[in-house]
Amino acid sequence: MSAYKLLINGEMVDGDLTMDVVNPATEEKLADCPRASESQLNAAVAAAKAAFPTWSKTAIDERKAVVLKIADVVEANAAELAQLLTKEQGKPLEDATTEVYGMAAFCRYFTSLDLPVEVLEDSEGRRVEVHRNPLGVVGAIVPWNFPLILMAFKLPPALIAGNTLVIKPAPTTPLSTLRIAELIQDVAPAGVINFITDANDLGAPMTAHPDVRKISFTGSTETGAKVMAGAAGLLKRITLELGGNDAGIVLDDVNPKEAAQKLFDSAFQNSGQVCIAMKRLYVHENIYDEVCDELASIANDTIIGDGLEQGTKLGPLNNKMQYDKVKALIEDAKKEGNVIAGGEFPDKPGYFIRPTIVRDIKEGSRLVDEEQFGPVLPVMSFADESEAIERANASAWGLGGSVWSANPERAYALAEQMDTGTVWINKHAELDPTIPFGGAKMSGLGNELGQEGLQEFTQQKIINMAKG
């Protein structure tokens, strides 16, 4: 019997099935984990549906109080949760601790928002109001790269808006999520928050379930397309935060030594396993060699290892499937470009890949055209700004992008031309709960975070009343 349990209708229950969770730093079994059956998914949805009428009519301040209590519980158990997150995900303990506290902070931010009635018109002839009503049961599907902070993109706004939830973490990182489920078991009324797990087999039935009124999904574009197709039959609401192939453009007035560490961190945070990580870097030919050399130097000095070991900067990739994919991309890149740092796979247990810099590579190679989601960065040169923009925009994805320059006005002019949901100037991959976030093109639909992120969990309702 597993020490971890599912949370369904206020009760901690065993899964009808079990699965192993592996420590990616050692490749050793970390824990037995409950795995829900489809009947348990149905039970969780039924519990959420039964809880919805009362929860949706609960005063918003009371709903906020529940979310604040969740934040308090997460923060009070931060040390334990961070240790568990590092063991199952691989990231350094300092980064895991930041993620845990980040989850609490995001929960608190959403409690500062409201859903007031907006009056569009109040004239002699009519009064028109905009109301924001809850949808019903929300299915939240969370990926393995940031299992806690990305859950905080979904859980707080869904609850505050008056919805009930079924949360499904990724099969490789379910433990910290299930531990939170245990800690908050009694925080909300039974059925309001339910936690199930799977082996990537319950996403489709959850998406197609007739009693799930919205799916909030974070993950790959390929899976996002399946979610969209599954939701189409019932025209249910969806929010999709999907893959990216973010480009950074470095102009010729940038100081390579000053910018290199920021560029490196933009690409290699969480070993590159970040949807908005910089995944392609375009550098003006005048400073190309120097930027490449600086990045290679940083990469060679970076300590990789078990996230629990002191001094580790980058941990392993989270799972063998992703590890094998990134290895294949690097082997292909060795034929297409010049590997000037990394490209090595340590001969020891764990899904470790040294941070890899590839120069003299072009579009048409897999590393440039695909989303690597790992610790490898292609660096390409350009001659003029119009060329850089054209190449940066020539991607099916459009999640984020950045422009780097000593001249803010010059950078801003290019930022306006980038075809992405977010553009940063002289930084990359910054997320703030107050700022809406969403992708362009094949990087997603809808928004998360900010007031817009809260409204995504509501149905707009217009009341148009005649007067006189």
Question: For 136, phi and psi rounded to 5 degrees?
Answer: 140, -135
Rounded CA-CA distance 124/349 in Å is 75
Cβ-based neighbours of 332, under 8 Å, separated by 6 or more: 365, 366, 367
Rounded CA-CA distance 346/196 in Å is 35
Count of beta carbons in the 10 Å neighbourhood of residue 145: 26
287: left (phi over 0), alpha (psi -120 to 50) or beta: alpha
Orientation angle between helical segments 256-268 and 288-301, nearest 10 degrees = 50
Cβ-based neighbours of 113, under 8 Å, separated by 6 or more: 157, 160, 451, 454
Cite the active site residues: 241, 275
Orientation angle between helical segments 60-76 and 175-183, nearest 10 degrees = 120
Q: What is the token pair recorded at 282? A: 């375009």
Inter-residue contact 208 to 235 (CB < 8 Å): no
Q: Look up residue 363 and give its DSSP letter.
A: B
* 124-137 per-residue burial string, b: 16 or more CB within 10 A, e: under 16: eeeeeeeebebbbb
* 409-428 per-residue burial string, b: 16 or more CB within 10 A, e: under 16: eebeebbebbebbbbbeeeb
Q: What is the dihedral of CA 415, 419, 424, 430, to 10 degrees?
A: 170
Rounded CA-CA distance 22/67 in Å is 31
For β-strands 118-122 and 126-134, DSSP reports them as: antiparallel
Q: Which secondary-structure segment (H or E) carries 330?
A: helix 320-336
Rounded CA-CA distance 424/336 in Å is 29
